[in-house]
Amino acid sequence: MKTVRLHASGDLRLNDEPVPTPAKGEALLRVTAVGVCGSDLHWFSESGIGDARLEQPLVLGHEFAAVRMDDGQRVAVDPAIPCGDCDLCRAGHPNLCPQVCFAGHGRLDGALREQMTWPASLLYPLPDTLSDADGALLEPLGVALHAVDLGHLRLGTRVGVFGCGPIGLLIIQLARLAGAAQIIATDPLPYRLEAARSFGATHAILADNGLEAPEVWETTARRGVEVAFEAAGENAAVETAVHAAKPGGELVLVGIPTDDRTSFSATAARRKGLTLRLCRRMKHTYPRAIALVEQSRVDVHSLVTHRFPLEQAQRAFEVAARRQGLKVILEI
C-alpha cells in the first residue's frame, strides 16, 4: 500500500509498505480523506511540535475519514487513544490523559496512507449526506466545539476570534449558533477575513502585529469582548485578545505557538482579572459535530479550498505551509 512518511523538515516521501493486520478490538480501514492541520505543519516545518520531536520517519495526519474493510461502513475517526484508566480519563477528561496516543504524533503513525488499523471504539459512522472530506473536518470542528464549551457562550455575548484559519472560522460559526450578538474577527490575510464575514463575523479587522487592538476595543463601544478566542498560534494575536477582552472576561487559547511559548501583557490581564483557559484537542464532541453538519447548521464543506491525491502530499503540505486557501485535503 502507498504510505507517506515525514523523514525530516519539509521532506515527505512516498513509500510502498505492507498492509497492517488489526489487533483485537481494532478495525482495518481504507483511508479516504485526510485534512492538513496546523499541527501537521509544525511537524512538517519544524520536525516536531512542542517537546515532541521527530525520532523516526512518521506518517502524519489526524483529521481523517475512512471505510471499514469488514463491513464497508464509512466512518470519521477520533485520532486520540486515551488510556481509559487514569484519574483524568475516569473523570471524563480523556483529552488530558497523560498516556494518550495520538495519530501522526510522536511514534504513532497517522492517516497519510491507503490503509491502517484503529480501535473500533473510536470510529463514528458517517451519514450518507456527509462527504469523505466532511468527515475529515469533523475533527477540527470537534476542537472548535470544545473551545466554545470552554468559553461558556451565552445569548447576546460579545465574542472575539483572533485568527481565522479553519478552526477560527468554525468557532465563528458556532458563536453565531450560540447567539453571540457581536463577533469580531481578526487575521492578517484579507481572504480569511472575507471568509470570516461569510461565516457570520459581524466585524472583520485586518491584524497588524497587535496594532489593531485599539480598533477592536472601539468596535465594542469600549466595552471589550466578553469571550476572546485566540486561534492563530501567534503571540501578537494573544496580546490583541488580552487587550480586547473586557474586565472580568474570558480568554480561550486554541492556537499552538511555533516556539512553544505564549506571552502577553501580565499587567493588562491581571488588572482585568481575566480567566484564562487552554484548549487541549477535544472531548466527547463527535456526535454533536456530526449532527451539526448533517443538519446544515455548520458548513465544513466550504472550508475546503485545495484537494490533492496522496502522491502529491509534498505539494499539498507546501501549499498549506504558504497559507494558501483555507483547508487542504488529501483524497486517497
Is residue 105 domain-shared with residue 45, that is, in the same domain?
yes
Q: Does 51 have pLDDT greater than 90?
A: no
CA contacts within 13 A on the Cβ side of 28: 11
Residue 285 lies inside a defined structural domain of this protein: no
Is residue 146 domain-shared with residue 273, that is, in the same domain?
yes
Is residue 101 domain-shared with residue 181, that is, in the same domain?
no
Is residue 268 domain-shared with residue 316, that is, in the same domain?
no
Is residue 8 domain-shared with residue 100, that is, in the same domain?
yes
Q: How confident is the model at residue 50 (pLDDT cuts 50, 70, 90)?
A: confident
Report pLDDT for 265: 86
CATH of the domain at 152: 3.40.50.720
Full-prediction pTM beyond 0.85? yes
CATH of the domain at 126: 3.90.180.10
Split into its structural domains, the chain has a count of 2
pLDDT per position as a tens digit, 246-298: 999 999 999 998 888 898 889 999 999 999 999 999 999 999 999 999 999 99
Range of the domain at 146: 141-278
Is residue 104 domain-shared with residue 125, that is, in the same domain?
yes
Alpha helices in the chain (DSSP H): 38-46, 87-90, 132-136, 138-151, 166-177, 190-198, 213-219, 235-244, 266-272, 286-294, 313-321
pLDDT per position as a tens digit, 99-116: 999 999 999 999 999 999
